[in-house]
Chains A and B, each alone.
Chain A
Amino acid sequence: KQEVTQIPAALSVPEGENLVLNCSFTDSAIYNLQWFRQDPGKGLTSLLLIQSSQREQTSGRLNASLDKSSGRSTLYIAASQPGDSATYLCASYNTDKLIFGTGTRLQVFP
């Protein structure tokens, strides 16, 4: 059974820092991996989807990498801003359902 773990569970940093959020999964037979953002009381906003044949995806200040063999994905946030404060979730596509981690709660202070 797939298990997805995210480290750290919470992170508080000053504005401007470059950040690394980690996601690990136990079953490497995944289709894709996706990173989401969730603001308090809100739904999920998709950030990046990495297909199993890809190693990374970039969007603006965000870069996500995928290493299936080691069961790891990393979300890199450059030059963090207070508006980046949210919970970040990674999820693996196993067959047709998403298996989510418990998230990293990020706070960026001015």
Chain B
Amino acid sequence: GAGVSQSPRYKVAKRGQDVALRCDPISGHVSLFWYQQALGQGPEFLTYFQNEAQLDKSGLPSDRFFAERPEGSVSTLKIQRTQQEDSAVYLCASSVGMGGYEQYFGPGTRLTVT
């Protein structure tokens, strides 16, 4: 079966542009997570969903970051008015449920803001 997929794999944006990053979770996985990984660092939690409900968005760095999962499947992470400090790899993961179930990661989207 297919794993978690993310698109685009690479994105270059000029400072001030808006970007949208897509995540397709494993079919049937109810939980979906977004992480941000800066160069040389471990991933850091951004937000997560159970089905279409966003249960925790405490890791979003500013109100320029917005995530949605309207039908409980595909999710989009949107960053408005990108800044250079937004340059990072954005990782998406999904799991069968809540409560510490194993998370399966996609390949990530590398965002470079110039």
Contact = CB atoms under 8 A, between A and B. Distances in A.
Interface of A: 4, 31-32, 34, 36, 41-44, 46, 49, 51-52, 89, 91, 93, 95-103
A93 B99 CA distance: 9
Nearest to A93: B100
A98 B93 CA distance: 10
* Interface range, B side: 20 to 34
Contacts of A95: 100
Contacts of B31: 96
B6 to A, nearest CB: 8
B103 interface: yes
B43 A98 contact: yes
A33 to B, nearest CB: 10
